[in-house]
A and B are shown apart, each in its own frame.
Chain A
């Protein structure tokens, strides 16, 4: 077709169709019928079909080492070359499917969720922009274009979070998301530049080759690796840059599902998965601890949150921590696997919560109640009878996230936990990592079922509201059904049917590559370690999952144990958890305020001192100079010199005029004088 290679052609189309939809909707959206949502939906569905066909092609070829790169030189400045291009391998294809699928589901879900919204066409345009940017990250073959799309994704996130920017909290949340991302991106950029300075290329394959040759080594390589990882810390909302994701829930729920569950935050994980071969052992350790700690830490906050979306947000942070942990211990294919399954069930959970919130909105609106928070779980209860489809799909997704067998989450979580356990068995000093992992698993099961029990079971906390609750329309329940279906194990274990196995098309086709950094264990060694710990991990994970579910069941369903009593008993810890460990407040006190003070001081210096005295001084000096120059020019030059010449000429004229007396004898005298002069000259 265009480039002669079908993979490249499909990639081009997948990449640019959403951008075309964005352009059309931004400029003409308001004037199109139905505000142009069909443009975006059409584009995304075509993208989905193309991605699925690439997936099908992958299954048909069954080539684990498939890798296709297409590049073209964008800027060639001699020693400095920037090229753009695609790198398509099996990981890319799976990721493309994930992005296209979740994006299409969001487009469809938003048809109902955002019906009648004041900026409907712009919303769909931004969705297109986001899809374009995300696909750009997925397809990137070099660090510069990856960075560009990385930033673009940040911009789209900002635009979509602050969609209802009349609400000050939403506008602030958008800002916070973008700025926190930027902090991470500083590290990312430093990492990129370190790599470029040492190796001389931005192309990822060439960077791998360079690292393998030892062009960059030791501490510098670790620093570069940590720098690159900082981008993931920002984008995937890891500790300490996790503060933006809970606030990002101000955006519409479909956006939360798309970006903050399945794709954008997964970009950080995708980055670490892609760049795994160049992390040094020390960098990998840092990665593992950050991920593990985040997983436990975020889960500990989620147990006390009452807003349904906030619970899911902290859950996402925790699950992302899992994925990062997996990369850190070397089992990065497990991380990618969890990314895939997490995308499905987390998006389903978000859509489910969106469905619930939508129903609450309608009910409250009918009662003319604008004070009750439609997202607070304490106002819900007993919805399962009114919203059966939502309830069923959410149960399936919750089972998946809790790591219950027969569901997809069990397979991927199991792989991660096995990886961490294997790592700890190899390096016993890092025993904390599996502790993080299993602890987070227990807590995850607990709070997810808490959510289910508080929302769908028990007594309705607000009977009047409960009366107005009804199931959501087909447009909203369809994505729920599809995604919950994809959370069942079978889709991942094909062609095998064993629900407990760790083999399937995924592990066959997505093969782990070796790290190019000397000193790292090879993929084979990692795989051995994982396999060794597999059954232990499986037993342990089942145990902790059961613990969590059981505790939640007792506390929230059977009410055998009282949540309030436990909260009071652990008052201090409860307060810490409920207030997110006061992270935002501390950041404000110790980072933002001093910085703002510094800015104010600098602004004072610049504005009141520099501008007023220095710059204005220039102005005054110039004015003074020009006045005096003017005087010199006008009075001095013009009057004396220029006019002076005139006056001299006049004077001369007046004097010489007297020669012309009109009298003959004068003329004769002059003639005589002339003759004398000539004669004198002749004689001399």
Chain B
């Protein structure tokens, strides 16, 4: 049963991702991205990453995706449909990407992964919180700085020239 669900989730994820990159209509892409994010969340759950799954939904879906849709809406006036000019790029790109995928896949198969025993924790949140405050304090502070910078930057950029 779990396996079946797993594969469904995978299917949603990948299918939506495919729609994202392939759709001619930008809004459709955005919606497909939404489903993709949700699928990824499901995968996180399967991976026992409860906190991250929640963060994913909140931040990605609720924040980034909304942002993207805003962006689409705001810039929709003179967006042109993909002309066949990129078809060369498309074919070549597909080939290259496929090649990349094969390479990576081959790497995945051939690497002798060392898996340790499964330990299901009670919850991850506390552990993450502890780690953030202790071992990964510096990255945490830097990240906050980064967010600050991004905030200021975004604001500045979208200010009207007076």
Contacts and interface: CB of A to CB of B under 8 A. Distances in A.
B96 A683 contact: no
Contact of A679 (B93, B97, B103): B103
B155 to A, nearest CB: 26
B92 interface: yes
B96 A669 contact: yes
A658 to B, nearest CB: 10
Contacts of B97: 672
> For the side of the interface on B, what is the size category?
10 to 19
Contacts, number: 21
Interface in A652-684: 665-666, 669, 672-673, 675-676, 679-680, 683
Contacts of B92: 669
B104 to A, nearest CB: 9
A665 B103 contact: no
Interface in B64-105: 86, 89, 92-93, 96-97, 99-100, 103
Contact of B93 (A669, A675, A683): A669
A669 to B, nearest CB: 6
Nearest to A676: B99
Contacts of A679: 103
B89 A676 contact: no
Contact of A669 (B89, B103, B106): B89
A672 B93 CA distance: 9
B100 to A, nearest CB: 6
Nearest to A668: B93
A676 B93 contact: no
A673 B89 CA distance: 12
Contacts of A666: 89
B100 A676 contact: yes
Task: Please indicate which of the listed interface residues B86, B103, B106 has the most CB atoms of chain A within 10 Å of its own CB.
Answer: B103
Contacts of B100: 672, 675-676
B103 A680 contact: yes
A665 B92 CA distance: 12
A151 B30 CA distance: 123
B140 to A, nearest CB: 32
Contacts of A672: 96-97, 100
A683 B110 CA distance: 11
Interface string A4-43: 0000000000000000000000000000000000000000
A168 B36 CA distance: 129
Contact of A673 (B86, B96, B106): B96
A439 B40 CA distance: 156
B89 A665 contact: yes
B87 to A, nearest CB: 13
Indicate the member of A675, A676, A679 with the most B CB atoms within 10 Å. Answer: A676
A665 B86 CA distance: 10
Contacts of B103: 676, 679-680, 683
Contacts of A665: 86, 89
B148 to A, nearest CB: 28
Nearest to B97: A672
A313 B97 CA distance: 124
Nearest to A673: B96
Interface of A: 665-666, 669, 672-673, 675-676, 679-680, 683
Q: What are the 5 tightest A-B residue pairs by CB atom distance, in nearest-first order?
A: A676-B99, A672-B96, A673-B96, A679-B103, A669-B93
Interface of B: 86, 89, 92-93, 96-97, 99-100, 103, 106
7 contacts: A665-B89, A669-B89, A672-B96, A672-B100, A673-B96, A676-B96, A679-B103
Given A665-B89, A669-B96, A673-B99, 18 more contacts: A665-B86, A666-B89, A669-B89, A669-B92, A669-B93, A672-B96, A672-B97, A672-B100, A673-B96, A675-B100, A676-B96, A676-B99, A676-B100, A676-B103, A679-B103, A680-B103, A683-B103, A683-B106
